[in-house]
């Protein structure tokens, strides 16, 4: 049920990704301005745009049929640019992360706000996480599919 196409990488300086909550057209625009390669996968109710940056971080952007990015996930040796990735939700993420700060900084960061969820885990040299807009998920899509 999955099909994908590999698109050529374009070279520029900053790795940049599309933004949570914005239109999928920003994926294509960002890819051109990034050093990322991209793969598109189609599922029943959404498409996944997977970008691999030069730092080895893989970012997946989940776009609804109407073209809105309702979820992102990431995995790699470092974190992606969360400011770029979360867009208008970055400030909410940053504030929540500050208020949840616990001694050590080694435990996963789980933020569950109404309509906005961020989960961040891993360790030095390997980070993994996801963020999604829970009230903007297409119907019949489970958050278990965001990974």
Partner 1 sequence: MKFSAMMALGLTTVSLACGGGSSHKNSMLPIAVSASNIQPIVVNSGPAGNYANGLFTSVTVCVPASSNCQTIDGILVDTGSFGLRILSSAGGGALTLSLPQQKASNGTVGECTLFVSGYTWGSVNTADVMIAGEQASNVPVQVIDPTFAAVPSACKSAGVPENDSLQTLGANGILGIGPFAADCGEACDQTGSSNPGMYYECAGSSCQIAAEPVTQQVQNPVALFPGDNNGVIIQLPALTASAGSLSGSMIFGIGTQSNNSLGKAKVFPVNSSGEFTTTFKGQTYPAFVDSGSNALFFLNTNTTGLSTCSNSSGFYCPSSTQNLSAVTSSGSPSQTINFSIANADSLFSNRGDFVFENLGGPNPGTFDWGLPFFFGRSVFTAIEARSTPAGTGPFWAY
Segment 63 to 92, residues that bind partner 1, using CB under 8 A: 77-79, 81-84, 86, 90
* Bridge partner list, 30: none
If the CB atoms of residues 3 and 104 are measured against partner 1, the closer one turns out to be: 104
**What is the contact mask toward partner 1 in residues 93 to 132, using x (rule: CB under 8 A)?**
xx--xx-xxxxxxxxxxx-x------xxxxxxxxxxxx--
DSSP assigned state of 23: B
Residue 49, Cβ neighbours under 10 Å: how many?
A: 23
**Token digits for 79?**
């974190």
Distance CA 11, CA 142 (A): 35
Segment 40 to 59, residues that bind partner 1, using CB under 8 A: 53-56
DSSP assigned state of 103: T
Shortest CB 48 distance to partner 1, Å: 16
If the CB atoms of residues 49 and 130 are measured against partner 1, the closer one turns out to be: 130
| 8 A C-beta contact, residue 120 and residue 108 | yes
* Bridge partner list, 51: 38, 59
Buried b (16+ CB within 10 A) or exposed e, 68-96: bbbbbbbbbeeebbbebbbbebbeebeeb
If the CB atoms of residues 66 and 143 are measured against partner 1, the closer one turns out to be: 143
Residue 134 lies near partner 1 (rule: CB under 8 A): no
If the CB atoms of residues 40 and 96 are measured against partner 1, the closer one turns out to be: 96
Q: Contact positions toward partner 1, by CB under 8 A?
A: 13-15, 35, 53-56, 77-79, 81-84, 86, 90, 93-94, 97-98, 100-110, 112, 119-130, 143-144, 147
């Amino acid at each position: 049920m999955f099909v994908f196409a590999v698109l050529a990488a374009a070279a520029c300086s900053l790795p940049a990704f599309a933004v949570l909550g914005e239109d999928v057209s920003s994926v294509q625009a960002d890819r051109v301005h990034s050093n990322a390669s991209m793969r598109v996968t189609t599922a029943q109710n959404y498409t996944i745009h997977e970008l691999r940056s030069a730092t080895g971080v893989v970012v997946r952007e989940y776009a609804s049929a109407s073209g809105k990015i309702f979820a992102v996930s990431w995995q790699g040796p470092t974190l992606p640019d969360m400011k770029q990735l979360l867009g208008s939700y970055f400030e909410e993420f940053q504030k929540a992360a500050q208020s949840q700060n616990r001694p050590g900084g080694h435990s996963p960061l789980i933020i569950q706000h109404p309509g906005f969820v961020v989960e961040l885990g891993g360790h030095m040299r390997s980070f993994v996480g996801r963020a999604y807009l829970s009230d903007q998920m297409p119907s019949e899509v489970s958050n278990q599919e965001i990974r």
